[in-house]
Amino acid sequence: MNKDEMIVCPKSKGNACYVTEITKDIKQYFSFSCGYWSNSLMKENSDFYNEQISSLPEIYKDLAWKDEETDLIWLPTTINIEDKGMIFANGSSADNWKWAAVKAVEIKEEEKEKYPIKTKPGQFYKYRMDMSTMKIFDENDFIEALDYIQAFKNQL
């Protein structure tokens, strides 16, 4: 049985870290305070951690944070909500980065063929990320980035 709760984020110390019990042995953590995530399998040199880190951009690897109390490694998240927008870590190093948020825009009918869904021949995306709407947010303003793309709008 899954059990959800809110805890204090070990990284940011904010009070908006959402914990989901996946199984009795695995918990998933997502901090709305700082935008980082982890789970019970995210330990140095674990197969799961190595699999996650292998496909990440260098900035995400540089930003990995280890909780000394639990040994869990926390990584910045990427949010991609098809009809709302995307949030991602953007920068050149762990010392020079911020959250970037871009809004999704509906693709016009006459432009849809420019945006095919590669795994579904004959089908096309309905939205695209509009990089001209990019707005930058500080590390601890992740929730403001979510608000910017209206991630919480119409979720009731």
Are 129 and 71 contained in the same domain? no
110: phi then psi, degrees, rounded to nearest 5: -70, -10
Are 47 and 70 contained in the same domain? yes
Are 114 and 84 contained in the same domain? yes
Distance CA 16, CA 10 (A): 11
Boundary residue ending a domain (27, 45, 76): 76
How many CA atoms lie less than 13 Å away from 47 in the CB half-sphere? 0
In this predicted structure, what is the pLDDT of residue 2? 56
> What are the CB-based long-range contacts (under 8 Å, 24+) for 125-133?
125/82, 126/82, 126/83, 127/82, 127/83, 128/104, 129/85, 129/86, 129/102, 129/103, 129/104, 129/105, 130/102, 130/103, 130/104, 130/105, 131/102, 133/85, 133/102, 133/103, 133/105
Band the pLDDT of 4: cuts 50, 70, 90: confident
Of 153 and 64, which is predicted with more confidence?
64
For the record, the structure tokens of 50 come out as 């190595």
- Please tell me the total count of domains within the chain: 2
Give the pLDDT confidence of 122-156 residue by residue, as tens digits. Answer: 899 999 999 999 999 998 899 999 999 999 876 54
Are 126 and 92 contained in the same domain? yes
Boundary residue ending a domain (76, 105, 130): 76
Are 71 and 25 contained in the same domain? yes
Are 12 and 62 contained in the same domain? yes
Distance CA 52, CA 74 (A): 11
pTM: 0.87
The answer as to whether 90 is a domain residue is yes
The domain of 20 spans 4-76
The answer as to whether 123 is a domain residue is yes
The answer as to whether 156 is a domain residue is no
Give the pLDDT confidence of 96-118 residue by residue, as tens digits. Answer: 999 999 999 999 999 999 899 98
Residue 32 near residue 25, CB atoms below 8 Å: no
In this predicted structure, what is the pLDDT of residue 1? 45
Please give the C-alpha separations between residue 148 and each of 14, 36, 83, 152, in angstroms, as whole numbers.
20, 18, 13, 10
In this predicted structure, what is the pLDDT of residue 97? 97
Residue 33 near residue 14, CB atoms below 8 Å: yes
Give the pLDDT confidence of 27-62 residue by residue, as tens digits. Answer: 999 999 999 999 999 999 899 999 989 999 999 999
Residue 78 near residue 67, CB atoms below 8 Å: no
